[in-house]
Amino acid sequence: MLNVRLWGVFMAATKRAARNWLWVVHWVMAISFVILFASGMIMTELPREVAYRPSFYAFHKSMGVLILFLLTARILVMIRTLGPARSKNWLPVVALHTALYTFMVVVPLSGYFYSNTAGREVAMFGIPMPTLFGENKALADAAGEAHGWLAYVFASFVAVHLIAQRRHLAGVWKRFGQRSSADA
């Protein structure tokens, strides 16, 4: 009987720790996607003569690979420790999150595919990543276009997610403001 109680306490602590870790990773990834989107928009507008243009691309690719690693860890932790989320409106929630996770995978992978087919190396902060796709200039042009459009569609789904979470975000912001004024 004692073992069953201890196991229940352990599992509750594990789920709480997993939720805390997932919350941190959620926001790290959210900030990383904002950085990725902004850097992608800026770097594509830079003239080829700009000296720091290659560094911008290398940073963008590094962040994309980092996102893929974080996303993989996030999904594995969710599968391992958390059950399905319960919601009154489960269908729209599941549909939106399925779309978000799909884009979280597809957008960085499409960038990886684009780089490989264009004959360019992908590295994560200087660590070379394997070449997964062969060089194909014709395919690279289409892959580059697809990567850009997928990023914009993903950004629109993120906007829908933010709108759906507006009450929650307003409450968090209000609590944050109350803590700040109490500290002053």
Number of domains composing the chain? 1
Measured CA to CA, the distance from residue 122 to residue 111 in angstroms comes to 9
Structure tokens at 43: 């770097």
**Nearest by Cα to 47 from 37, 56, 36:** 56
Per-position pLDDT tens, the chain of length 184: 556 555 555 556 678 888 888 889 999 999 999 999 999 999 999 999 999 999 999 999 999 999 999 999 999 988 887 666 666 777 888 888 899 999 999 999 999 999 999 999 999 999 999 999 999 999 999 999 999 999 999 999 999 998 888 877 787 778 877 776 666 5
Question: What CATH number does the domain containing 47 carry?
Answer: 1.20.950
Q: What is the pTM of this model?
A: 0.80
DSSP letter, residue 119: T
Which residues form the domain of 107? 2-183
